[in-house]
Structure 1
Amino acid sequence: MATCEVCGNDYDMAFEVHTQGAVHVFDSFECAISRMAPVCEHCGCRIVGHGSELDGRWFCCAHCAREAGATRIVDREVTGAVAR
C-alpha cells in the first residue's frame, strides 16, 4: 500500500505521477488535481483541461484571460494557435 501525499490515506490502489524528475503518490484524481493542477490567475479555479497561457500566466479559459487584460492568448491544445 502507498500513502497519498495530500490526504495521508494509506490506499492499496494509490498511483504515482512522474513529472519533471519527481514522483508523486495520490489515492485519487481529486488529490492529484489539488496538488498538481495550475490555478487560473483570474478566477482562481484549478485548470484541469488545457487552459490558456499568455507570457507565463495561466487562465482556465479565454474569457478569464480577457478579463485579466489579455488581448491575445495561446491555446495549449494546438501549438501556436491564437485566439482573439
Structure 2
Amino acid sequence: MYAQGSDVIFLPEYHCELNFIEQCWGYAKRIYRQKARSSSEAILECNVIDSLDAVPQSPMRRFATRSFRFIDGNAYRKGLQ
C-alpha cells in the first residue's frame, strides 16, 4: 500500500482476460455506442465521460471476480509466464 492509501495490482501484460479494467472499458464502449453521433469534440468528450461514469459498480466487481478466478486457475498464479 502506498502513502496515499492506494493499492497497486500488477497484472500480466497483453492478456485482456486477466485485466478486469478491459471488461469495464468494453461495458463503457457499449454504452457510448448507444449515444447520438456528433462531430463536436465537446459533445464527444462529454459522451465519453458519461459512458465511463455509467458503468455500475456491480458489473465491475463481477469482472474483477471473473479475472481473478481466471488468474487463480492459470499458470500465472504459479509463477509460470
TM-score range, shorter chain: under 0.3
- TM-score normalised over the length of structure 2: 0.26
The answer to which structure has the higher strand fraction is 1
Larger RCO (CA under 8 A, 6+ residues apart): 2
The answer to which structure has the higher helix fraction is 2
- TM-score normalised over the length of structure 1: 0.25
